[in-house]
Amino acid sequence: MRDDVFKAIDVADAEALKELLTKDTTLASCRSNDGMSAVLFSMYIGKPDMTSVLLSFEPDLDIYDLSSLGGLGQISHILATDQKIVHEFSGDGFTALHVACYFGNADVAKMLLDNGADIDKVAMNGSDLTALQSAVASCHLDVVKVLLAFKPDLNARMLGGFTPLMSASALGDEEIIQLLVSHGADQELRSEDGRSAADFASLSGNQ
């Protein structure tokens, strides 16, 4: 039944999902083998209608789910009882800070940082992503601004040797590019395959 839930989410079959959850409401809280919730899965693959169906069945939400959804009040309650959780990783190898940054929840990111989250903690899934790279990858300028106030490593290298500036250049996000450069991001660094930020901008057609 759990696999059927994830399949229904994947193919965006709302009726099938509702039918499964009506038969067994606990399935709204189900998780994959690596511990990812159905809610977070629906967020990652960009199926907001499926997220809405799941939430209507009131699933149990952990800090990673809430970080993706922007559940500031509920996260505050979690941190009041377990502050160490800001250092832990989800089943897919990200911290709550990574998740909040990727989904653009600046207020959640600030709360997590104010409660001791390590701004330069590297994801434990082979990607070597930091929170700053997560925010840049999804072009969330407001989150990048929050992170810069906490002095992140602007030249952190993810898998392949790519820096946040390289990512922003490849995406053509001029505002984030300017912000990173103004804060001292190194424009001359090169990825493992020899490309600079300017090369990424040129190859992707961004001026």
105-159, pLDDT tens digit by residue? 999 999 999 999 999 999 999 999 999 999 999 999 999 999 999 999 999 999 9
Spatial CA neighbour of 55 closest among 23, 32, 29, 35: 29
Question: Going by C-beta distance under 8 Å and a sequence separation of 6 or more, which residues neighbour residue 203?
Answer: 170, 195
Report the distance separating Cα 96 and Cα 88, nearest Å: 8
> Regarding the domain delimited by 2-56, which CATH topology (the fold level of the hierarchy) does it fall under?
1.25.40
- pTM score over 0.85: yes
* Structure-token pair, residue 171: 């995406």
Task: Assess whether pLDDT exceeds 90 at residue 56.
Answer: yes
Helix, strand or coil, per DSSP, at residue 23: helix
What confidence score (pLDDT) does residue 125 get? 94
Q: Tens digit of pLDDT for each residue in 21-31?
A: 999 999 999 99
The answer to whether domain 2-56 and domain 63-203 are alike in fold is: yes
| Main-chain dihedrals φ then ψ at residue 31, nearest 5 degrees | -135, 155
CATH code for residues 63-203: 1.25.40.20
Q: Which residue has tokens 């009506």? A: 22
d(CA 159, CA 167): 12
The residue among 69, 126, 129, 72 whose CA lies nearest residue 95 is 129
pLDDT of residue 205: 77
Residue 68: name the closest of 105, 28, 93, 29 by CA.
Answer: 105
Q: Residue 127: how many CA atoms within 13 Å on its side-chain side? A: 16
Q: What digits encode the pLDDT tens for the residues 64-107? A: 999 999 989 999 999 999 999 999 999 999 999 999 999 999 99
Coil, strand, or helix at residue 69?
A: helix
Nearest to 62 by CA among 39, 43, 32: 39
Distances (CA, A) of 137 to 32, 126, 199: 25, 16, 17
Closest Cα to residue 42, out of 75, 96, 5, 90?
5
The whole-angstrom separation of Cα 100 and Cα 122 is 15
Q: Where are the domains of the chain?
A: 2-56, 63-203
How high is the pLDDT of residue 203? Answer: 79
